[in-house]
Chain A
């Protein structure tokens, strides 16, 4: 499999050249945090897509469809529809009224220190958990894809960690953006190619393809079964509250995407709100096309490769690469494998920069030092150090957990926190005059706590494993789950909104109400919005 390694190293070389080029343009704060706000609409749209379509999308959803058919495709739908909330509610007001982070919008009329401290905590929680999930995924992937090249799990995790630190520390937002753009283009190219190869396999007849999908044969608990993979209910059955879990997941996606810090910071990289809008539309075109094509990737793997073969060659995350191997041989397998690494790298770089921006800008400068930089360039320096520290922690935890760790719930957790903590306070601060500091703090705290607690008592953490389960893959608490759903959104999102409402009614804050006028004029007209800066 050295072809995969060669292609991946080529991608690394290109991105390092870009980082070198970007480094000289990333000295000032606006340049480092927002790429000088000079990213164009289509560029930012492609970068949003690159930031968003993680390994969970490319490998995870293809795998879910290959194993559970239609139920896996349900994930694809939610991942795109979620962008309507971003487009209609969040992107433009955020660009108009903010500077570097989502907390900027909250701090306009609320007491900045408590609000920024909580928002920063929520951002760091979402980013670090998501990052750890990606890192474990990266390491596990390398051992599967490059099994014969003597690259261990640890080496892979450290490699990914060092690269993402280099991109962010030296290249800032500009380098991160271009890594995401290149990755998104590669991912789309690979997916389109793979989809056409699946169609070609069925003699370009879509009927043949769907007919094959209606009887997929595989072994289940020793018996040979044939299932119609277009029928729902293979994964989310009535017995495990399947419908409720899907609704809960849908809520986390639809309300959470608009609260994901690494997506929100992307809207500060464009010159104005109109460009932010254009970039969401570009992102929706790409993300939507990609997720429609997961039909061919997932069902293609189910029909052409077969569930049994995938299960014995690395498990469901390997569905897309194995499909590539079956259709295009080892070179195409290598190409798809290299794309999978590139995918992970671009996402972790986006997570790192959003985490370090929030720590440096919200927590260090505005909470600890009350909004004053003690020396020029201090904020950027702190962000660079934070990127290094966050990267090191993520590497350390990922190595500690090991490649078999069950980390899928960390992604669910990130979306749940974004939907339950971040979105309620963003929406209320933009649309509710009476909203105030205690509402924001209680809303963020309730959403964060409810998401974490509900996940901890859900089947993601609490489950009795069958005897003989590998130690690392075992659930943390070997007891039946108290909360029956994998996704806490259906309960944690209302709790987050409720916390924000109750907190608001605890006190009156005349200043917050008085400054509402300024915020809505800024958010709706762009008057006084941050300008692009010259390099």
Chain B
């Protein structure tokens, strides 16, 4: 297939060595430090909605602004929660991209050939 011809010869890459390198392990640690807490936070925040709505209805029916109650505001806040986490992730991911480039360059592999700098 056409795509295969453009592959860098991955047979020459020492995957084990790369995976064990300090730079790669730092990248994985950095990603985990962001992604795991972010996942836990959004899962807790999201499931709080059906749980509170299901089991604490009188509380959720408290009116906050005029007719608008807590249940609706909490549901609405979920959208902003998702957008904020996405924005924070994009910021962190730009750092991860740079770390990933360093991992590859450490092995003297041209990063452009690995498709990292393709996006202008």
Are A250 and B46 neighbours in the complex by a CB distance under 8 Å?
yes
Beyond A74-B53, A87-B86, A280-B86, whether A520 also contacts B104 by CB under 8 A is no
Measured between beta carbons, the chain A residues less than 8 angstroms from B47 are: 247, 250
Measured between beta carbons, the chain A residues less than 8 angstroms from B54 are: 232, 236, 238, 242-244, 246-247
Per-position 1/0 for B49-79, Cβ under 8 A of A: 1110111010011000011110110011011
Number of interface residues of B (CB under 8 A): 62
Minimum distance in angstroms from A473 CB to a CB of chain B:
28
Are A30 and B71 neighbours in the complex by a CB distance under 8 Å?
no
Give residues of chain A (289-316) contacting chain B, Cβ–Cβ below 8 Å: 291-292
Are B1 and A28 neighbours in the complex by a CB distance under 8 Å?
yes
Interface of chain A, helix or strand or loop or mixed?
helix
Q: How far is the CA of A81 from the CA of B45 in the complex (A)?
A: 10
Per-position 1/0 for A67-81, Cβ under 8 A of B: 000100110111011
Minimum distance in angstroms from A129 CB to a CB of chain B:
25
Q: How far is the CA of A73 from the CA of B15 in the complex (A)?
A: 48
Are B71 and A207 neighbours in the complex by a CB distance under 8 Å?
no
Q: How far is the CA of A85 from the CA of B46 in the complex (A)?
A: 12
Measured between beta carbons, the chain B residues less than 8 angstroms from A231 are: 57, 61, 69, 71
Question: Does A529 make an interface contact (CB < 8 A)?
Answer: yes
Pick from B27, B43, B55: contact of A525, CB below 8 A: B27
Pick from B19, B49, B83: contact of A284, CB below 8 A: B83
Are A213 and B86 neighbours in the complex by a CB distance under 8 Å?
no
Per-position 1/0 for B8-47, Cβ under 8 A of A: 1010010110111000100110010001001100110011
Question: Does A88 make an interface contact (CB < 8 A)?
Answer: yes
Q: Report which residue of A233, A271, A274, A379 has the largest number of chain B beta carbons within 10 angstroms of its beta carbon.
A: A274
Pick from B6, B24, B35, B83: contact of A521, CB below 8 A: B24
Give residues of chain A (192-240) contacting chain B, Cβ–Cβ below 8 Å: 207, 210-211, 213-214, 230-233, 236, 238
Are B68 and A230 neighbours in the complex by a CB distance under 8 Å?
yes
Per-position 1/0 for A494-535, Cβ under 8 A of B: 000000000000000000000001101100111111111100
Q: Report which residue of A77, A214, A291, A533 has the largest number of chain B beta carbons within 10 angstroms of its beta carbon.
A: A77
**Known pairs A230-B68, A521-B18. 18 more at Cβ < 8 A?**
A29-B1, A81-B78, A84-B39, A84-B85, A84-B86, A232-B54, A232-B71, A238-B54, A247-B47, A277-B93, A288-B83, A373-B1, A518-B15, A520-B19, A525-B103, A526-B114, A531-B6, A533-B6
By a beta-carbon cutoff of 8 Å, the part of chain B in contact with chain A is: 1-3, 6-8, 10, 13, 15-16, 18-20, 24, 27-28, 31, 35, 38-39, 42-43, 46-47, 49-51, 53-55, 57, 60-61, 66-69, 71-72, 75-76, 78-79, 81-83, 85-87, 89-90, 93, 97, 100, 103-104, 109, 114-116, 118-119
